[in-house]
Amino acid sequence: MSSSTESSPSSPGVPLLLLLLLGALTAIAPMSTDMYLPGFPAIQAGLGLAPGQVELSFSAYFIGMLLGMLCYGPISDRFGRRPPLLFGLALYSLASLLLAGSESLVELIGWRFLQGLGGCAGAVLTVAIVRDRCTPQQAARVMSMITLVMGVAPILAPLAGGLVLGLWGWQAIFVVLAGFGLLCLCGLLSVLDETLAQRGARLALWPVLKGYADLLRDRSFIGYALSQAFTTGAMFAYIVGSPFALIELHGVAPQYFGFFFGINAIGLVLASQFVRQLLRRYTSQQLLSVMLWLPLLAGTLLLLNQLLGVPGLWLILPAFFLLVSSVGLVGPNTTALAMARQGQRAGLASALHVSLTFGMGMLAGLLVSLLHDGSLLPLTLVVFCFNVGGLLAHRLLSLGARAIYGEAGA
């Protein structure tokens, strides 16, 4: 296997402060969901809502995210990365403050939609900024460092949300999120210079739609993007299905569920740093060809658990840990490879790439919910099938494009 000669992500092209800022920007999405989850009962009681109505605000946030992602990419290719980031962070912070003053379900849903619409700018444009500043091999290592910062959010956010809720009430959770958004806004103004070297043509609907259509026909891009989307989708299935699997099926006490959830999140963080070290010796393509088998192994363990009727958590816990950790191994490489050849349409490509990832995650979670039958089978099937899809997308699309067009491995 070939060795890497690229400079490290701590080179002058990607200074440490910028790395931390990009990590914070990508952490906005998990913080905005995980931090307010402990407040669901309090929000329901405070606004006088029926059971299940608070969850509508959760869906509204992701709908806003998906819509915003598809808009910020082409806008950033035309006007640069900084202006849409500034707008998105300002909108996110304002919507968070408005959420703290919500007095009805309509307001809660509306402000959550706007919060998602603004907060997704960081997730989309971080990928474009890394593409602007880095070679593909550098980009994979930088994305692994960003994953480290982002991976801490699912560990700390529920704990912080519970603490804030206990001290000051559910409204304070959204005030804290507004403060985090403003902090990121200040960091953006202080640390990030414009990274887009050459601005694109005049922004119009038809060229944007044509650009998305061209990307969907790009076998290399769509193969890598779908590989990550399927792998991340399997993790979303775990997030949705694991409370039932552990607490209701296997009697894990609710106070210990967060411990298992945190252990798996730590696995994600450690995996992202392990792959960073491997990238000093191997290329992203070489690593991806091996690492896409790991989440499939996790799905296979869950399938064996279901078929053999293994008692307890002996196969379930290792499978969950491997499933979540593998996202830290796969994600940095698929992102770097998908963005490697995008050039002046990096913003557009980043938007589609991240939208596919979150969209597949929403689909996986929806399937687990709709197929729920009181057993672990729906979660098992979704995880297994999604990871088969991720492997096939890489083998049939990405590697097929390399064979046809003679692309060099990144």
Distance CA 241, CA 227 (A): 21
**Structure tokens, 339:** 């963005």
What pLDDT is recorded for position 199?
66
What pLDDT is recorded for position 9?
38
Q: Which long-range contacts (CB under 8 A, 24 or more apart) does 18-23 make?
A: 18/191, 18/192, 19/142, 19/145, 19/146, 19/149, 20/149, 20/187, 21/184, 21/187, 21/188, 21/191, 21/192, 22/126, 22/129, 22/130, 22/142, 22/146, 22/149, 23/145, 23/146, 23/148, 23/149, 23/150
Please name the fold of domain 205-410.
Growth Hormone; Chain: A; (1.20.1250)
What pLDDT is recorded for position 6?
37
CA nearest neighbour of 129 among 269, 221, 26, 232: 26
What pLDDT is recorded for position 404?
43
User: Do 291 and 333 contact (CB within 8 A), yes or no?
Assistant: yes
CA nearest neighbour of 391 among 233, 267, 226, 215: 226
Distance CA 22, CA 260 (A): 27
Give all strands (DSSP E) within 64-211, no chain letters. Answer: none
User: Do 398 and 223 contact (CB within 8 A), yes or no?
Assistant: yes
What pLDDT is recorded for position 105?
93
Low-confidence residues of the chain: pLDDT under 70? 1-14, 52, 198-203, 254-255, 400-410
Predicted model pTM = 0.78
- List, for residues 162-206, the tens digit of each pLDDT value: 889 889 999 999 999 999 999 999 999 999 888 877 665 566 777
- Domain 13-203: give its CATH architecture: Up-down Bundle (1.20)
- The segment(s) of the chain belonging to CATH 1.20.1250.20 are 13-203, 205-410
What pLDDT is recorded for position 274?
92
